Amino acid sequence: MEKLKILIPKGRIFDNVSHLFAEAGFPIALADRTYRPSLGALWLDAKIMKPQNVGELLELGSHDAGFTGIDWINESGSDVEEILDLGFDKVRIVVAVPHDYDEAQLRSKKLVVATEYVNLAEKWLKSCGYQYRILRTYGTTEVFPPDDADMIIDNTSSGQTLKDNGLKIIETLLESSTRFVASRSAMANAEKRGRIEELEMLFRAVLDGRERVMLEMNIPKEQFESLSSLPAMRSPTVAPLYGDAGFAVKIAVKKHEVPDIIPKLKKLGAIDIVEYDLRKVVQ
């Protein structure tokens, strides 16, 4: 069987993707100074690459699937198929200028715009009618103004680093997160498509499991009707207790609902309530 070739991003995205694979059942083993990790499955072949390159390499067909931010897909204009938004590493691509700049000042000269997002910057600057010259950066873009640039277009999660460097955000170009993406050619191949869909199912199960917990409880027979509308993914799991004393009930709920649900359950007569984490939830 032909192996499924996966691109795993280096840098800040790597840890989240690595944990996702491990929880899905494919722990990543990566020796120092190597770019060929082992994923614990004979049908997977992985390579570490910068997220900026993932989209284009998938479009070229040298790999089947990979992980990168949607910002880099948009920047490269790569023709790939998005399989799953993982929700990791959320950032905004923003336009920022020194705090004392106003619109009249930006319009009064030819701007030097520092950015890693050359194509996104070009498109936005043209649409706004600015005069500009783009200066490509290779990280730490926020240090360029005001001495070496009038404006930056960069990614930010909270905006604090920009504030700390005397910059203000004047526009948000897009919001980005890590996506699981695949090449068009791989998705046209029945065997590879099947493997990619298997990974998608496992990743979804892990992500759903992270959001939910299981609550187990005992409900006396006389209180059962008052608890008949328990929240659950579909419907509660109910089993009779020994001696016809009541019922053992299980419900899977969102973690953020637990602080409200447990006190309500207790007031309605539930006893012996136990909460525990879920590894995967396959719906």
| pLDDT tens profile 48-57 | 999 999 999 9
**DSSP-assigned beta bridge partners for residue 270:** none
Task: Sort strands 212-220 and 271-277 into parallel, antiparallel or unpaired.
Answer: antiparallel
Could you tell me which CATH class the domain 91-176 is placed in?
A: alpha beta
Whether 212 contacts 254, CB under 8 Å: yes
Tens-digit pLDDT profile for residues 142-158? 999 999 999 999 999 99
Q: Do domains 4-87+178-188 and 212-277 have the same CATH topology?
A: no
| pLDDT (0 to 100) of residue 123 | 96
Q: Look up residue 29 and give its DSSP letter.
A: B
- Higher-confidence residue: 225 or 170? 170
Q: Look up residue 223 and give its DSSP letter.
A: G
Where are the chain's structural domains?
4-87+178-188, 91-176, 212-277
| pLDDT (0 to 100) of residue 227 | 66
| pLDDT (0 to 100) of residue 156 | 94
Task: Please name the fold of domain 212-277.
Answer: Alpha-Beta Plaits (3.30.70)
The two three-digit tokens of residue 219, written as one number: 């409900």
Binned at pLDDT 50, 70 and 90, residue 283 comes out as confident
In order of 21, 75, 115, the CA distances from 119 in angstroms are: 32, 6, 10
Give the position of tokens 């992985």: 46
DSSP string, 112-172: EEEES-HHHHHHHHHHHT--EEEEE-SS-GGGSTTTT-SEEEEEESSSHHHHHTTEEEEEE
Tens-digit pLDDT profile for residues 240-254? 888 887 888 888 889
Domain 4-87+178-188 belongs to what architecture?
3-Layer(aba) Sandwich (3.40)
Task: Report d(CA 111, CA 167) in Å as an integer.
Answer: 15
Task: Check pLDDT > 90 for residue 228.
Answer: no
Taking Cα atoms as reference points, which of 83, 84, 7, 1 lies closest to residue 45?
7
